[in-house]
Amino acid sequence: MVAMENGVPNGSAASIPHVVMLATPGMGHLIPLAELAKRLASQHGVTTTLVAFASTKSSTQHAFLASLPPSITSLHLPPFDLSDLPHGTTIETLMSEECARSVPALTEILTKLKETNHVVAFITDLFGMDSFDAAYSAGIERRYLFIPTNLHLLTLMLHLPELDISIPGAFQDLAEPLQLPGCVPIPGKDLLSPLQDKSNPCYRWMVHHASRSIEADAILVNSFDAVEPDVATVLQQQEPGRPPVYNIGPLILTESKSKSINTVPPTSSRAACLDWLDRQPARSVIFVSFGSGGSLPTEQMRELALGLELSGQRFLWVVRSPSNEGAVNDNYYDAASKKDPFVFVPEGFVERTKDVGFLVSSWAPQIDVLAHQATGGFLTHCGWNSTLESLVHGVPMLAWPLYAEQHQNAVMLAEGIGAAIRVPELKAKEMIAEVVKELMTGKGKGAEVRTTVAKLQMDALEGLGEGGAASTALAEVVEKWAADKN
């Protein structure tokens, strides 16, 4: 669309197509948007401004934003007072409230950006739907919803306003799994966590966002057809009143900048865990990590440790202090472990497993670990970023979901496409050991999962290539901007 030179499009800012993206709190929202911005620059000569919230302004985020190419600039909204919200307010409510209160400030930012840039589109994710009001006020005609997860989540949200009326009781009490068009049947208790308690304000926020999603000119989804084939077919068919849907994923970190996306990185230039992996046989290590925001209760930490030991398999475990005093997503805004996590593993565990295991506190370079030849499995919380990273690097998964949409992701991956084995609900050490061995030795479901993931890896990479499905979908979106004379 526009010629590039040294990562920056040629031409004046007034003529280069420019996109503004609002990333609601959470690195899981910021990272894929940043990767979308990179792709827009490299493939189409489009520049981007990433707008983030003051509540997530940290050394971690600063380092990540500083690592982006010159075609992507960033700025932060001013802080907003949320002290009137009660203690224990859910993350979903906090994000929604912060976005709603930011509309006047965001309108001012967008208006100023339009004065010096050829702004062709505004993009935000699901929790930023109220920011469409700012785009309206600033006169930005094209507004897009970005779904950082998958088509299953999008389908649930598109149907949520009607489900809110037709299912008066709690979703977790549904007698049968919820069957949505093209989707894997999802048991009620595994549906999106903020939908589980209808009396909680976060539920009404989700219905609110879902109701506004149809205002988007189009919906961009960080997924690819092969991992959700049936629902992809359904959503590719145009439907009156629903924006067109474009599968543009997988959007994952495209280079090893992973030191900037978790907590404070090690002082050495290369993480010690990678040196340890260098000494392990190929495909012999299971990587254990619950994402940048997840933590386990003490008892589950203990059973996990003993299960890993009992399995006899090599492991690399990112350990965080337990979530006993809060929620399993306690680390959402700050991925650092709140206390020394090693004091919470069973006594003698580190010494007994020193020949087969490696523990790190809070942080590991996940992209580098998954890409390492010694890594043969991933025990994951099923956050969508982690899921896509695992698939792109061909690593089969054990599913141990914690919050958000992770439970329904686990159902889709394990019972739908067959890219993961679900860890039993009763997290006993014997059961954990059994599934770890099954995955790592390639027995039983382990063999099937390995085959499926290898195929999905090929599909994902082909889709990102020139003429691939993801590249073609994004090009179709960008073509609409070429005629925009604003």
Of 18, 118, 125, 209, the catalytic one is 125
Residues 6+ apart with CB under 8 A from 202: 90, 92, 93, 96, 194
d(CA 281, CA 314): 10
**How does 37-63 read in b/e, with b if 16+ C-beta sit within 10 Å?**
bbbbbeebbbbbbbbbbebbeeebbee
> What DSSP string describes 427-486?
--HHHHHHHHHHHHHT-THHHHHHHHHHHHHHHHHHHHSTTSHHHHHHHHHHHHHHT---
Alpha-carbon distance of 206 to 208, in angstroms, equals: 5
- Rounded to whole angstroms, the Cα distance separating 401 from 390 reads 15
Per the DSSP assignment, residues forming a β-bridge with 399 are: 380, 422
Active site residue 87: no
- Comparing CA positions, the residue from 370, 378, 379 lying closest to residue 424 is 379
Q: Are 285 and 21 in contact (CB under 8 A)?
A: no
230 is catalytic: no
Query: Where on the phi/psi map is residue 77: left (φ > 0), alpha (ψ -120 to 50), or beta?
Result: beta
Residue 65's H or E segment, with its range, is helix 59-66
Contact 302, 345 (CB under 8 A): yes
Which residue among the candidates 29, 44, 152, 209 is catalytic per the annotation? 29
Contacts of residue 115, defined as CB under 8 A and 6 or more positions apart, other chains included, come to none
Residue type, 327: A
Q: Per 3-state DSSP, what percentage of the chain is helix, strand, and coil (rounded to 5)?
A: 45, 15, 40
Q: DSSP 3-state assignment of 137?
A: helix
Strand partners, 421: 398
* Rg of the chain taking only CA atoms, in angstroms: 22
In order of 18, 19, 47, 256, 287, the CA distances from 40 in angstroms are: 10, 9, 7, 19, 32
Catalytic site positions? 29, 125
